[in-house]
């Protein structure tokens, strides 16, 4: 079977991470008085900023699942799954580490804020869940594909049921993964829904990409379904409610952001896939492959990880729009260049983890002998 490299995936990841950088920079440093909800420029910025996280989660589920399926075709699925477990645990660990206030701890000042869940922990746990589901269906791609689209849809449809869930009766460490009551930015639900949809899309790419007309069909399908979700999904749920009178459907319709954002993601996929041949620019592809390094570096500079001294503590909410836009562009360039040309975080961490695994294995072998 001939498999193709999906260059548009790296391009989408690059777009998403750069949108995240500028979104975080402007949201953190722009003066409150310039956040005019009636200003068209601010409205557009806020809308497109809202696409970033859904895009990143969906593309993460897509690429991770696609790599698993490629590995199975090559007879290396177990190795890929082990790497996935390491990757998931590593993301969770880094997510916590970035919020550890080391110097405050040295002073004896402790709180639970470092336990809030952000994007890295959520993606890391999502990868582990995908691996779990993949093993539960005994690596059957058809069953896995159906399970992923079913799971994503159920998570989105039941969002009103857990929207205000506070998780007061479970340990804080676990509660933060399912509730925003304690300050978590992302929670596993509904965000795993986007990962599940990405995994479903990956199964379609893996199965049908060899066919000559697949690309045109994929682009058209992304565009049609995406536009339907954006423009008509709310009316569709209203129609279903008028027939069934199920209050849950009415609640989904009244706050239909998950399906609309999924529509945004699909339209974005269609655009990037359609113009894929123009996006095979080395710097774009490298940025798309360095998203973890970029995220870590931007977090340290902007939010002052470890030291507590970042741009947010120095000039938070003090910039006018011109300075904020110029600063965001400069921020994008500096963080991207550092990540692409000066860091090898992923390679280093993976190498250390592999060395640790080898040492543990050697100790076990010696003990058995």
Contact 26/294 with Cβ under 8 angstroms? no
This prediction's pTM: 0.90
Provide the total of helices (H) and of strands (E) in the chain, helices listed first.
Answer: 18, 0
Q: What pLDDT was estimated at residue 368?
A: 61
- In tens, the pLDDT along 58-110 reads 999 999 999 999 998 888 999 999 999 999 999 999 999 988 877 777 777 77
Contact 306/300 with Cβ under 8 angstroms? yes
- In tens, the pLDDT along 346-369 reads 555 555 555 655 565 666 566 665
Q: Of 279, 261, 117, nearest to 198 (Cα)? A: 261
Contact 181/167 with Cβ under 8 angstroms? yes
Contact residues for 22 (Cβ-Cβ < 8 A; gap 6+) = 328, 329, 331, 332
Choice between 11 and 366, residue whose per-residue pLDDT is larger: 11
Q: What pLDDT was estimated at residue 38?
A: 86
Distance CA 7, CA 17 (A): 16
Mean predicted confidence (pLDDT) in 301-319? 84
Q: What pLDDT was estimated at residue 36?
A: 85
In the predicted structure, residue 30 carries a pLDDT above the cut 60: yes
- In tens, the pLDDT along 243-288 reads 999 999 999 999 999 999 999 999 999 999 999 988 888 888 889 8
Distance CA 202, CA 312 (A): 38
Domain borders along the chain are 8-35+281-369, 55-210
Q: What pLDDT was estimated at residue 351?
A: 57
Contact 269/194 with Cβ under 8 angstroms? no
């Amino acid at each position: 079977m001939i498999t193709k490299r999906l260059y548009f995936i790296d391009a989408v990841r690059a777009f998403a991470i750069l949108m995240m950088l500028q979104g975080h920079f402007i949201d953190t440093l722009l003066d409150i008085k310039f956040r005019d909800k009636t200003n068209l420029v601010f409205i557009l910025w806020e809308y497109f900023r809202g696409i970033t996280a859904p895009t990143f989660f969906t593309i993460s589920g897509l690429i991770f699942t696609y790599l698993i399926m490629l590995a199975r075709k090559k007879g290396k699925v177990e190795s890929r799954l082990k790497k996935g477990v390491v990757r998931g645990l590593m993301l969770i660990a880094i997510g916590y580490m970035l919020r550890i206030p080391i110097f405050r701890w040295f002073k004896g000042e402790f709180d639970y804020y470092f336990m809030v869940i952000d994007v890295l922990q959520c993606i890391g746990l999502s990868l582990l869940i995908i691996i779990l589901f993949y093993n539960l269906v005994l690596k059957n791609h058809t069953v896995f594909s159906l399970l992923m689209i079913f799971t994503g849809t159920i998570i989105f449809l039941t969002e009103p049921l857990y929207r205000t869930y506070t998780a007061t009766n479970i340990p804080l460490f676990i509660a933060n993964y399912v509730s925003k009551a304690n300050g978590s930015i992302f929670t596993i639900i509904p965000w795993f829904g986007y990962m599940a949809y990405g995994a479903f899309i990956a199964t379609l790419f893996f199965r049908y990409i060899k066919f000559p007309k697949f690309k045109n069909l994929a682009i058209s399908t992304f565009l049609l379904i995406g536009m339907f979700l954006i423009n008509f999904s709310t009316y569709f749920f209203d129609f279903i409610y008028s027939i069934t009178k199920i209050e849950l459907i009415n609640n989904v319709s009244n706050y239909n952001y998950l399906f609309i954002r999924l529509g945004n993601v699909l339209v974005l996929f269609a655009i990037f896939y359609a113009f894929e041949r123009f996006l095979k620019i080395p710097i774009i592809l490298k940025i798309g492959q360095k998203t973890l390094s970029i995220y870590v570096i931007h977090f340290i500079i902007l939010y002052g990880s470890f030291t507590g001294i970042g741009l947010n503590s120095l000039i938070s909410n003090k910039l006018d729009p011109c300075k904020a836009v110029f600063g965001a562009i400069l921020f994008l360039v500096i963080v991207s260049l550092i990540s692409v040309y000066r860091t090898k975080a992923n390679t280093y961490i993976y190498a250390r983890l592999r060395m640790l695994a080898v040492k543990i294995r050697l100790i076990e072998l010696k003990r058995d002998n």
